[in-house]
Structure 1
Amino acid sequence: MAKLFAYGTLKDIDTQQTIFGRILKGEPDVLKGFTISEIKIEEEFGIAKYPILEESEDPKDVVSGILFEITEEDINLADTYEGLHYKRIEVTLQSKENAWAYIVTN
């Protein structure tokens, strides 16, 4: 099993149902040293805005989200969903759990 820290659209149950075919179960958690900004992505019907993690290196900066336990197949599905504008990195959360999270691609 893998762990995924979700802070944006992956927390949404409709998005989860579409991507994973089910609603994920998770627990609230916090990621220190990151902030959330906004990314604009051109889609079929125009420009859409999405949240995106950026490393701040300031431990006072925190992002609240949900920690999900998912399968390796789910990780691949999430990678496809997030696309080219996001990259997956391993982070350590306030709970001391290690998890995957998606940040801005530079």
Structure 2
Amino acid sequence: MENLFAYGTLKDKEIQERIFGRLLKGTPDNLIGFVIQDIRIEEEFGIIEYPIIVETKNAAESISGICYQLSERELGLADTYEGMHYKRIEVKLESNEMAWTYTAVV
């Protein structure tokens, strides 16, 4: 199983049902030294803002989210959902768990 730290739309139950065909079970956790900013992405019907994490390395800043356990196949489905504007990176959570999460492609 793979850990995935979600801080945005992947926490949404309807999105989980659509992508994975099930509701994910997770544990609240925090990502220290990161903040959330908005990224503007051009979609079919215009420009939409989405949340994105940015590393600050400041221990006073953190992001609250949920750490889910996914199969490798489901992690691939999450990659497809996030699309070409996001990339998966490995991070260490406040719980000391290692997890994948998504940040902007730069």
Shorter-chain TM-score range = over 0.9
Match of 1:65 in 2: 65
CA distance in 2 between partners of 1:36 and 1:15 (Å): 20
CA distance in 2 between partners of 1:58 and 1:93 (Å): 14
CA distance in 2 between partners of 1:81 and 1:14 (Å): 13
CA distance in 2 between partners of 1:45 and 1:23 (Å): 28
List runs of 5+ in structure 2 lacking aligned partners. none
Match of 1:75 in 2: 75
Match of 2:20 in 1: 20
Identity of aligned residues (%): 57
* SS state at 1:68 partner: strand
CA distance in 1 between partners of 2:21 and 2:43 (Å): 23
TM-score normalised by the chain length of structure 2: 0.97
Does residue 99 of the first structure (1) align with residue 102 of the second (2)? no
One-letter amino acid of the counterpart of residue 99, structure 1: A
* CA apart distance, 1:49: 1.2
CA distance in 1 between partners of 2:47 and 2:17 (Å): 23
Match of 1:47 in 2: 47
List runs of 5+ in structure 1 lacking aligned partners. none
CA distance in 1 between partners of 2:16 and 2:41 (Å): 20
- RMSD over aligned CA atoms reads 0.7
CA distance in 2 between partners of 1:92 and 1:21 (Å): 27
